[in-house]
A and B are shown apart, each in its own frame.
Chain A
């Protein structure tokens, strides 16, 4: 969604930045008492306890006992849901698009993660515990993704989920055909310039990948003497052919998404998710048949020509056809309100409550291949949980505590208590010579933060960078 160059330059993204490190929880046992638990798998449990041991949900039931040194959280009158998982995000990324080529499968967003991006903390404050960090949509075949848990305050290597299957971004439609690196004098704009060109680029890439795989197979079978050149562009594509890498394909029009499914059939691989897929309802049976998931915006459309045929019943229709549906944000800001986006599918098409909740939790986990460890409140799973003050589908709901693997990464009470402390630190820091403004002359006022945020979002929509 972001236009990457604009945000790297001069680091203007720096907003008022509270960087409280999450206090490490040394306790290995946590007991959440007397909550209404929305399991997102096995219904709603009233007045239930959750016992967490070593970061995992150990027991789920009534009147559970914990050891003497366990941390007890009284959740009477409160709701517990699984941590929300955003299946399409560009948070934490210092670069989003490698514009130069139409196939940039050699790039990997893991290289450019920023573990101090304030959006991580804000996501936690919105109950989001995990995200699918994707390359942008400037390329028919984009870069490799990383699935992370938002462990704010931790070093970067703690973020990626180690056993999440690797993935990659594909993109169809307007974005890949109109994007090119800034064209220098005498240069031709990047190929492809049409939707059919995009399909050709993908088919060509997989033809090359198939040849590459054959070259290595021949070498391993000792049919050739010299090892083939290792090609970082083709290696991930071979992994796709071998079913080891998940394809997340950005696109809007159903004809294009269907075309991609047919190419995948032709080369014998599977598309893990259609991303956005605002017209996916038109090809719901074809999608369901292939076991492909769809990750959508719930009710956002008409921001570009190819987003005109969207309907808010998309999720419901796909769900009725047996497609695994998730609702994503593709936005640092909307990410914090995914609970309300899930609520909307109850209104449009009458999706049952638990199925709606799954669309921002378990279904996203299934699409990302991490459902064995997270996405629902079930024994044996990671304790990635949100304690809400109200039902998460209420507009009055807000997370009070967000925990990942039993460790509290957001605590609203502590956040509020820390604000005074941070204000004091700010005042101390501002007194230092290095932080004092130079000269006394007034300069033109900078645009206040709120307006700037708004413009930033407009810029995201307006330039159509990735969306």
Chain B
């Protein structure tokens, strides 16, 4: 009896202690100690502490006090960076399924994927489309990108001439509203066409853009006149699409032009001048060639880190590649350094990279080609925050800012970089340390689970100005992939060397294009019934997206 009561007392005591401990360590207070801290606001702190409380950075410094209620993470051997920002993606936004090829015939009209709109303009010419409305919280892509070390991304659809209004989001949250940092950030525009309608060519893209801006100017004037004095004036016909352009023509909403080549960039700059637009260039791999103009017009660049490389295999009978292509591949990694030298503002974006590790690897290549490592860090932290006008909240590790942090073992530009922790709005996402790649001689090599890739997909290949639709018919046998790729432009070709990985696939094909054989390499990821990835051809990498046909 006595013993039992003593035991009871002991139990109660332990319980009490546990409760007290729980009260001491709150889940939303963290202190990373003994870490190298790259604040992106001054010199790095070689050994210091970052304190996160309630979604914000409470303290940072070599001698910052660790609060009693903080969960302490030992940062020995770790580097803390401001959460990395991908300055342009289509994260969480699915591309509309590929349309069947036209050609009349008795085909029933396919229902359009985007919801019916009462806009006076066709799909693709609707600037009012907002990424905010299309996003879904909890999308698996957010987690993938977060795990890769990104805390924030600018996202907008890749569809249409007007891609719509982008949203700057943090990559965690229970609702899209919670995730949003800023929306809309900008109107996005791509030099392309509307399939089967006007504009059917790049020529029309320009004239359609001009006419819409002029019509928006006129509508704005008429609406103002009507608001001032409606009596005796016919009610102006409302136009959702043109109204969405009011802030564009007034200069309050930037226009992000997707422009990668020199001439696309020059065209965008010309349009910006013509209509006094607040322009930003996205892609911009040739931007260094027109750096003085970018500087003069004070236009920033969301610079793609999807560096070009040759993917076609060798063939003795093939034409030599043209010098422009060879030079483009050699010069592109030097572009960031040249923009920095010219004083052009720029931020890094993934540019449709399927392997997000390449983002950091290619940023590292930019540093090997003359860009200061600090500048490279800025280009994925504070520089995009400045371009997006949120640098008072994001982009550096400073007291009071949003607690977006990326913690890396080693250096982010090092080859053995591992992202260990990611904080988004003060929420910790801990990474399991990736196992070292198994050495071939080791026994018991584990094979990761393979993605399920087999099926028929409708795909859209985003060739600038000329999206191409087609189908992928894939048959999976274990890690091997076979099947065909067919598009309007190339006909049907068998796939070669098809492989399935844990989250995607890759294959090669030799497609006939206008009587020429071109070698393409396709790499993609699978998420549910969606696929997305890149088609590498001798002319560069082109993103594609697709939907599995039921």
Task: Name A residues whose Cβ lies closer than 8 Å to a Cβ of B.
Answer: 4-6, 8-12, 14-19, 94-101, 104, 106-109, 111-116, 135, 143, 155-156, 181-187, 226-227, 229-232, 422, 425-426, 429-430, 432-449, 452, 455, 459
Contact = CB atoms under 8 A, between A and B. Distances in A.
Nearest to A436: B310
Interface string B327-345: 1011000000000000000
A445 B466 CA distance: 27
A422 B105 CA distance: 52
- The prevalent SS among residues of B at the interface is loop
A282 B330 CA distance: 58
Contacts of B206: 107-108, 111-112
B22 interface: no
B313 A8 contact: no
B476 interface: no
Contacts of A441: 313
B456 interface: no
B514 A12 contact: yes
B518 interface: yes
B5 interface: no
A4 B201 contact: yes
B455 interface: no
Contact of A19 (B201, B202, B324): B324
Contacts of A115: 263
Contact of B513 (A12, A15, A17): A12
Given A112-B202, A185-B107, A185-B109, A434 B308 contact: yes
B316 interface: yes
B515 A455 contact: yes
A438 B319 contact: no
B310 A10 contact: no
Interface string B445-468: 000000000000000000101101
Interface string B502-523: 0000000010011111110100
Contacts of A455: 514-515
Contacts of B316: 442, 445
B263 A156 contact: yes
A227 to B, nearest CB: 8
A116 B324 contact: yes
Contacts of B314: 437, 440, 442-443
A426 B326 contact: yes
B17 interface: no
A113 to B, nearest CB: 8
Given A14-B324, A434-B308, A229 B215 contact: yes
Contacts of A230: 214, 218
Nearest to B263: A114
B86 to A, nearest CB: 23
Give 8 closest A-B pairs by Cβ, nearest first.
Answer: A445-B317, A17-B322, A95-B202, A100-B198, A107-B203, A106-B207, A437-B314, A111-B206
A183 B102 contact: yes
A435 B322 contact: no
Interface in B83-129: 100, 102-110
Nearest to B214: A230
Contacts of A429: 323, 326-327, 330
Contact of A155 (B196, B266, B521, B540): B266
Contact of B515 (A16, A94, A95, A452): A452
B203 A98 contact: yes
A433 B309 contact: yes
A18 B202 CA distance: 26
A183 B104 CA distance: 6
B263 A116 contact: yes
Interface in B398-429: none
B267 A8 contact: no
Contacts of A183: 102-104, 196
> Which of A98, A230, A436 neighbours the largest number of chain B CB atoms within 10 Å of its CB?
A98
Given A9-B463, A184-B102, A432-B329, A446 B204 contact: no
B312 A443 contact: yes
Given A434-B309, A438-B311, A100 B204 contact: yes
B312 A438 contact: yes
Contacts of A116: 262-263, 324
A100 B207 contact: no
B330 A434 contact: yes
B510 A444 contact: yes
Given A8-B465, A8-B466, A11-B540, 19 more contacts: A8-B202, A9-B489, A11-B539, A12-B516, A95-B202, A96-B201, A98-B201, A111-B203, A112-B206, A183-B196, A187-B196, A230-B218, A426-B320, A432-B329, A443-B314, A443-B315, A447-B517, A449-B319, A455-B515
Contacts of A434: 307-310, 329-330
Nearest to A451: B515
12 contacts: A8-B465, A11-B539, A107-B203, A111-B203, A112-B203, A181-B200, A232-B214, A442-B315, A445-B317, A446-B317, A446-B517, A449-B319
Nearest to A185: B107
B222 interface: yes
B433 interface: no
A6 B512 CA distance: 13
Interface in B13-51: none
A15 B106 CA distance: 40
A443 B468 CA distance: 24
